[in-house]
Structure 1
């Protein structure tokens, strides 16, 4: 038996969150779905797993709400449900940026579809002959699992750092076409709008993110896998789960090679834990020597 895993979001004003939350919880429980639904004043974000029949029934129910009638989603398959429990949460933002004036519902930044992006990357420039560069909007630990070749990775630890980073590098990218990207497109919706607002002339968001790129194009121009926030940890360009995992103790991403290290004990520790303890011990020793 296989399960369908969906990722979906839409920026749209939702003003009855307290009423919606139990409705979504009841629907998901009735259909045996597992995952997370985020309900916010600026829209909805969902990562869910279930049988084909029940996912289809749920999506039909969601789209019966006129505000979400055109909701789109991305799919992948797995032999197990990709989440272990069902949560419906109310939050302030779909993705935290802390810039309330950015409202994707009022108008998106320009986007580029996966097939067009591949063509641009094949030729090294956009249709106007301007060099194309890819810009990460994801956190550093996600990037370490895989990213586009020659991408701009500014090692951010959380998305709230992105606006300052974009401003810092604006001048050096003035003569480039910049394509922002993330896992499924959510962060890019806000990132590209912000970049347009602060003066980037040629900036696009990758429509549907990495997962849509994998679905429509495959893995060309991409190195590694794509981190996902469920038990699968990472998907390859065929949208299949990989052997990459997360450490139960420190939540660091652990590659198959790192799993061969003696420090890796499933559910207990990993090489990242050991490195952190070693750094802590060294710092403590240095401090002791200075007393």
Structure 2
């Protein structure tokens, strides 16, 4: 397959009723991923949709947002294309969660960088109730497979942070930190479930005996689990304009630093280090004055564009 191909489709202003947000994925052999990408582009060019869909030989992955008609249209399109076992979850956003609609052609729908077979070899799926029972045990190693900034926003009580900046780093973490625990019960989780499809497949491929993961990921857990029965702490980082969600899939209180991407709780926004679009407590010492001035210019351009649309 060629290098990543990306094409944008225009998105009209959404009505005041809010946005339906659909997160979806499925590992499924795609005979001609490039042709599927083109069919998707034809579809999204005619409906009010924004977000990102990634197409590869191994399946489809992404999050889209739009009105009810648009989201239903792309959902039905994918069902008609044979994606009948999608992990599919909906939530809502009061504001437009993505700037544009992107369709990307890639080698993997989630990049691990190591060949695994999630359609053939995968860990034990657990629903939220089963998950709570498992991770409450003392003989279970609980691992958050997400990136460091996602862990910062919230995680399950007692979860290990692999301190990875990208999912590509996870195989190295397994080799360095988990090799000696092949006979232990390993429980892993991620936002929507897709990264755990690959991470559990990787561990089984490497000879681990008991590997479990949360079906539907954190999003499904927060959707179905009452707060008083939950073992989740904090908020769940999401890759859209909402920054994070919490129980019942409600928008959280975290906001994103648009300079470095890290989620910030309200108290961190009040610190002198925070300047919207320019810096926060996590990045203020990592950029030069020249870079900060560039961020300020970018922020002023964004605000000017918003005023123009209004």
The interval holding the TM-score normalised by the smaller chain is 0.7 to 0.9
Q: Which of residues 165, 178, 181 is equivalent to 2:173?
A: 165
The 10-residue stretch of structure 1 (110-119 or 169-178) with the greater mean CA deviation from structure 2: 169-178
Q: Distance in 2 between matches of 1:208 and 1:89?
A: 23
Distance 2:201 2:281 in 1: 39
Aligned: 1:103 with 2:117: yes
CA offset at residue 224 of structure 1?
A: 0.5
| 1:216 equivalent in alignment to 2:230 | no
Question: In the alignment, is residue 18 of structure 1 matched against residue 34 of structure 2?
Answer: yes
Q: 1:142-291 counterparts in 2 under 5 A?
A: 142-170=150-178, 172-174=180-182, 176-219=184-227, 220-277=230-287
1:87 matched residue in structure 2: 102
Separation in structure 1 between the aligned mates of residue 103 and residue 69 of structure 2, nearest angstrom: 21
Q: Detail structure 1 runs of 4+ shifted over 4 Å in the superposition.
A: none
Shift of 1:171: 5.2
**C-alpha deviation, 1:23, in angstroms:** 1.5
CA distance in 1, matches of 2:70, 2:287: 46
TM-score (normalizing by structure 1): 0.86
C-alpha deviation, 1:206, in angstroms = 1.1
Work out the number of aligned pairs and report it.
Answer: 270
Q: What is the rounded CA distance, in whole Å, between the counterparts of 1:243 and 1:28 in structure 2?
A: 31
Q: Deviations over 1:202-241 (max 9, x none)?
A: 1112111111111121451111001111111111122111
Distance in 1 (CA, whole Å) between partners of 2:132 and 2:152 is 22
**Structure 1: 5+ residue stretches without partners:** 279-291
Gaps of 5+ in 2: 1-16, 289-310
1:41 is matched with which residue?
A: 57
